[in-house]
A = this chain, B = another copy of it.
Amino acid sequence: MKMKRSERLVDMTYYLMNHPHKLISLTYFADKYKSAKSSISEDLSIIKRTFEVNGSGVVETFPGAAGGVRFVPSIRKADAQTFLEDLIKKMDTKERLLPGGYIYLSDILGSPEILQLVGQIIAAEYKDKNVTAIMTVATKGVPIAQAVAYYLNVPFVIVRRDSKITEGSTVSINYVSGSSNRVEKMELSKRSLPSGSRVLVVDDFMKGGGTVNGMKSIIEEFDSETVGVTVFAEAAYNQNKEAVQYTSLVRVNEIDLRNRTMQLGLGNYFDE
C-alpha cells in the first residue's frame, strides 16, 4: 500500500521489532510501500538514529543485491544495571525466603515486562556470537530461554529430567549435581537440535554448576557447540564450583535463614 513517510516509519518500526536479527531486503519495503529505495533508505536512517538515541538496538544496513537491513536489539549496560538494581530491591524481602535457603522467584519469572528486560540483557551479550539455538532445562528456565530466543530470533530447546511421550526418541546423559553430589539424568529430544548448532545455555539459577555442565555434555552429544552460559541468578557456592564459564545477572551472596535475611548483588555480567 502507498504510505506517507510518517506512516512508513511506524510500520517499519513495527516490522523490524517483530523480526529481530532477520535480514530484510530493501526491495521488500520498497514493494510493500510502493516507494523508491532511496526513500526507504532515508526512513531507515531515521529509525537507526532513534534506536541509537534510546539505546534499543542497532539497525544495520548492508549494501548490494544480497543486502538489506537488520535490527539487532540491545540494551545499554547502564539501563540494564538500573533495571537489575530495582529488581534486586524487589527480590530482597524476607517473605521470599523459603525453607532450605531457596528464594521464591515465580512471580518475577512470570512477569512479561521483567522477562522482556532479562531477555534483552542476555541477548545483548550474545548479539554478535551467531547463536543458532537457546537451551535450558525444564521448567524454571523456560521463560528466560523464550525471552532470549525472542530477541535473538532463534529457536529454544528444553532439556528434561523426565522423558515425555510427546518428545519422540531422546538422547539422555547422566550428570553429577554439583551441590548435592547425586547422579541425575537429563534428556533431549533427538530431533530438536540439529548437529552443528551454536548453543547458548540459560537457566534461572545456578548453584554448583552441575546442571549447566550436564547441558554442555548434551550439546556435545549433538555434535554442537556451547557458545556461552548465562544464568539469571547464581548462588555463592564455594566448594569448588565446577569449571564452568558463565555470566550471571544477579548474585546471591549470602542467605541467613535464622535471621531471615539475604544479601544480593549484581552478577558478573557487570564485572569489567
Task: Report whether over half of chain A's contact residues are helix, strand or loop; otherwise say mixed.
Answer: helix
A7 near B53 with CB under 8 A, answer: yes
Distance of A186 Cα from B46 Cα, bound (Å): 52
Given that A9-B10, A143-B146, A168-B98 are contacting pairs, would A153 and B106 also be in contact in the complex, using a CB cutoff of 8 Å?
Answer: no
Partner of A107, one of B103, B150, B192: B192
B165 near A113 with CB under 8 A, answer: no
B112 near A155 with CB under 8 A, answer: yes
Nearest-neighbour CB distance to chain B for A2, whole angstroms, equals 11
A11 interface residue per 8 A CB criterion: yes
A166 near B105 with CB under 8 A, answer: yes
Distance of A173 Cα from B142 Cα, bound (Å): 24
A54 near B14 with CB under 8 A, answer: yes
Distance of A112 Cα from B22 Cα, bound (Å): 13
A82-90, A156-164, A218-226, A244-252 - the one binding chain B: A156-164
A158 near B146 with CB under 8 A, answer: no
A132 interface residue per 8 A CB criterion: no
Nearest-neighbour CB distance to chain B for A46, whole angstroms, equals 5
Distance of A158 Cα from B141 Cα, bound (Å): 13
A100 interface residue per 8 A CB criterion: yes
Closest 3 A-B residue pairs measured CB to CB?
A10-B50, A13-B13, A112-B150
Could you show 25 A-B contacts with beta carbons less than 8 Å apart? Answer: A6-B6, A13-B13, A13-B14, A14-B50, A14-B56, A17-B17, A18-B116, A19-B113, A100-B165, A104-B191, A105-B166, A106-B189, A110-B157, A111-B155, A112-B154, A112-B156, A113-B153, A115-B146, A115-B150, A139-B139, A139-B158, A140-B166, A143-B146, A146-B146, A166-B205
14 further interface pairs, Cβ-Cβ under 8 Å (given A106-B167, A110-B158, A139-B139): A98-B166, A100-B165, A104-B167, A104-B168, A106-B157, A106-B158, A106-B189, A110-B149, A110-B155, A110-B156, A110-B157, A138-B139, A140-B164, A166-B205
